[in-house]
Chains A and B, each alone.
Chain A
Amino acid sequence: MFEQNGYIMPKPSPTTPNTSVFLDTSLPNTARIFDYLAGGNANFQADRQAAEAMLKLLPSLRKWVRLRRAFIQEAAYRLYEEGFRQFLDLGSGMPADDQIHAFAPEARVLYSDINPVAVSYGNSLFGDLDHVDYIRGNATEIEELVSSSAVKKLIYPNEKVAIGLNGLVLFLTPEENKNLAQYLYNWASDNSKLFLVFQTHGAIQNMAAYETFLEIASSAFLPIRLYTLEENLDMMHPWKPSLLEPITTFLGLPEDFIKKEDREGIEMAFYAVILEK
């Protein structure tokens, strides 16, 4: 654990992508682990075992993952109703039939992820759809990603675009988040929107508890960083909030849906966020 630019950071993760490891189904794969946690079927025993081990360390993880998935679907539905006809989704994870394109039926949707298993599965799943594609891309190399031929084919530069950044902010450094937000702001047309969940921590009164939480998350193969609501908004500058509310309100869930134990002792909270240019 160390401090950088005022943020408490976990130790850097030694996870380096290795294609053969991704293809070996006897080894757990992050995309498939999250698929299992979200109630999907595209996973194997090693993924399920890893997910169960993670749940022992972070029992609220299943709820986080499902809340985030529900948010993406609801946000896609609302943005589509609002007139968005093109979506760029970064860090899409394991593809499924019920992702953005299912809630935005006539929109052009481009998914991307760094995980080759997710990309390969996406190509297999969406291969027959002209208006949906899944490409391999790294959000920290956003310039390269948006220059790809798939982006040029599906995302029209003069049309507003809805950009999903779900599951990314937690894994990036503050600097990487700021660079990503700024680049996308410059790249996207006016009236474009970002949609994402801010998973925040509250005022840290017990630093030891917070550090323990990050250590546990890291040992559960989740080298994440949590930020406060203000820090999240700061990192997404110059995008401006057009919607910011507790995720339970956004999804129409009971107020007490997130229990005390889900907050993992660090006042963890979830916000549904839509930012606009």
Chain B
Amino acid sequence: MSDKLKQQEITIWLNSQDDLSSNLKSAFIDHAIDNRGVLTSTRKADDVASALCSALEKFLDDPTDLIVVSAVAMQFAEQGMSMITGQALMMVLGQTAVSDSGIMGLINQFQLAFLQNLASARELNHHRVQERSQMALQRALHTQLEQQILLHDNEKQRNEHLNQILQLNTRLNQLNNEESLLEEAVYGIYRSLSLTEVSIYGYSETTSQWTKKESTLSNFDDSQKITPSLL
């Protein structure tokens, strides 16, 4: 068959495929929820059918140009088309009535090229998502490790404080005058617990007031009084 005659056959065949676009749309709609991304929406059926018909037409016009097939397959993969949807669409092409074995052969080539490209593009996508998944896990593990270190440090510091308080208690037991006792108590607690300020107040029942007895503050005023409600 001459090229010109063959082209005429292809044109006649394409023009006779009234149902092709609507069959592609139906196949897409049946599998839309199996896709990801924008192709989950059945509203995309028209776009998909139209893009496929156009690619098929261009491919039949020049079967040596496989770029048009790979471009449409990669675009669909990027938009989230699943293999099952791709297969369903290619089955529609396989079910078209073709009497000419030459055209059938070209359609088979198109199906094969489309599915191969769809699979390859999906594979790349798959690796990208898997990498992100691994990174997320590593980040979660890192966070957990940091929390464990923080917990360990806090526990260590707490033990140190408890030890210092035990030592302070021993020192306080050995003191027998009030002034030294109070002074050692405030400075001992101040150092042991790394506090900003430590003061000891005494409460007078006659005046109903608290009076500061000892403090780590340098400008300590022993006449400073506060009411109980402030404590």
Contacts and interface: CB of A to CB of B under 8 A. Distances in A.
B141 interface: yes
Contacts of B42: 251-253
B43 interface: yes
Interface in B132-146: 132-133, 135-137, 139-141, 143-144
Nearest to A42: B133
The 3 closest A-B pairs by CB, nearest first: A120-B140, A121-B136, A252-B42
B41 A77 contact: yes
Nearest to A43: B133
Given A39-B36, A41-B133, A42-B129, A70 B140 contact: no
B41 A70 contact: yes
A204 interface: no
Interface string B116-135: 00000000011001101101
B63 interface: no
A22 to B, nearest CB: 8
Contacts of B43: 252
B47 interface: no
Nearest to A65: B33
Nearest to A44: B133
A252 B44 CA distance: 11
A67 interface: yes
A123 B129 contact: no
Interface residues of A, number: 34
B215 interface: no
A25 interface: yes
A253 B29 contact: yes
A23 B140 contact: yes
A20 B136 CA distance: 14
B111 interface: no
B82 A39 contact: yes
Q: Is the interface of B mostly helix, strand, loop or mixed?
A: helix
A40 B139 contact: no
Interface string A118-139: 0011011100000000000000
Contacts of A257: 30
Contacts of A23: 137, 140-141, 144
B38 interface: yes
Interface residues of B, number: 29
A98 B139 contact: no
Given A63-B33, A98-B38, A123-B139, 17 more contacts: A19-B144, A23-B141, A39-B35, A42-B129, A67-B33, A73-B41, A77-B41, A116-B140, A117-B137, A121-B133, A121-B136, A121-B137, A123-B136, A124-B139, A251-B33, A252-B43, A257-B30
22 contacts: A20-B144, A23-B140, A23-B141, A39-B36, A39-B82, A40-B129, A41-B126, A63-B33, A69-B40, A70-B41, A73-B40, A74-B40, A77-B41, A96-B36, A97-B36, A102-B37, A117-B137, A117-B140, A252-B43, A253-B29, A254-B29, A257-B30
Contacts of A69: 33, 40
A237 interface: no
Interface string B40-81: 111100000000000000000000000000000000000010
A153 B100 CA distance: 65
Interface of A: 19-20, 22-23, 25, 39-43, 63, 66-67, 69-70, 73-74, 77, 96-98, 102, 116-117, 120-121, 123-125, 251-254, 257
A117 B140 CA distance: 7
Contact of A25 (B30, B33, B80, B137): B137
A70 B32 contact: yes
Contacts of B37: 97-98, 102
B183 interface: no
Contacts of B129: 40-42
Nearest to B135: A124
B34 interface: yes
A256 to B, nearest CB: 10
> Which one of B41, B133, B141 has the highest number of Cβ atoms from chain A below 10 Å of its Cβ?
B133
A77 B130 CA distance: 27
